[in-house]
Structure formats: C-alpha cells, structure tokens
Amino acid sequence: MDCIFCRIIKGEIPSTKVYEDETVYAFKDINPMAPVHVLIIPKVHIASINEVTAENSAVIAHIYEIAAKLAKELGISESGYRVVSNCGADAGQTVFHLHFHLLGGTKLKVEMC
C-alpha cells in the first residue's frame, strides 16, 4: 500500500506537525482553505469512515478530543471552527486514509449542513 498519509506519519514525506501522540498525528494542510487548516489523522491506517468499527472507534473519539485541544491552542475555539471528514470520492475524499480537517480563523461559508 502506498498511502501518502502513512508515509507522512513515518517521516518519509515532510509535513508541518502541530501535534502527535501514540494514536494520532496532526499537521498543517499544504493547500489551506482557511487561516487555520489542520489535518488530524489516525496513525493506524483506516481508509474511510466506512471502515470504522467497534474495535477502532476509540481513535475517532480521541481525534475529536485533539481537535478541541488544537482549536483552543490555535485560538479558534471561541470564535468557532469546523471539523470535516469526507467519505468516498463523491464526497471529495482524495486521500483514502481517514482524516479530519480542522478549519477556522475566519467566518466560514455555510455550504451544506
């Protein structure tokens, strides 16, 4: 498997890390859609939300805990932020390693809710 996010986690591809622990890795998006745009990914390869199970779902809860922590550290928790995960090509998923976009730092457009 040649997954770009797995390679980033291994340090084979450079990234601007903002957080790391034993479960997740977070880094700045190289094509930011907002002043704050961080990707939060599990270190274990899960292709998409479709592969979340009872055995691996604790990592998803942890990702949301880290999203809240990073939002506070990055100064966007009070003004508001968005956490997004696309599932499948039609939804816009381009890297098939589960990831969550943490977006903020500006008034975000409401596209679909």
SS (HEC) of 57-88:
CHHHHHHHHHHHHHHHHCCCCCCCEEEECCCC
For residue 62 the two structure tokens come to 């942890």
Task: Indicate which residues carry an active-site annotation.
Answer: 99
CA–CA gap between residue 86 and residue 34 (Å, rounded):
17
Q: Give phi and psi for 16, each to the nearest 5.
A: -100, 95
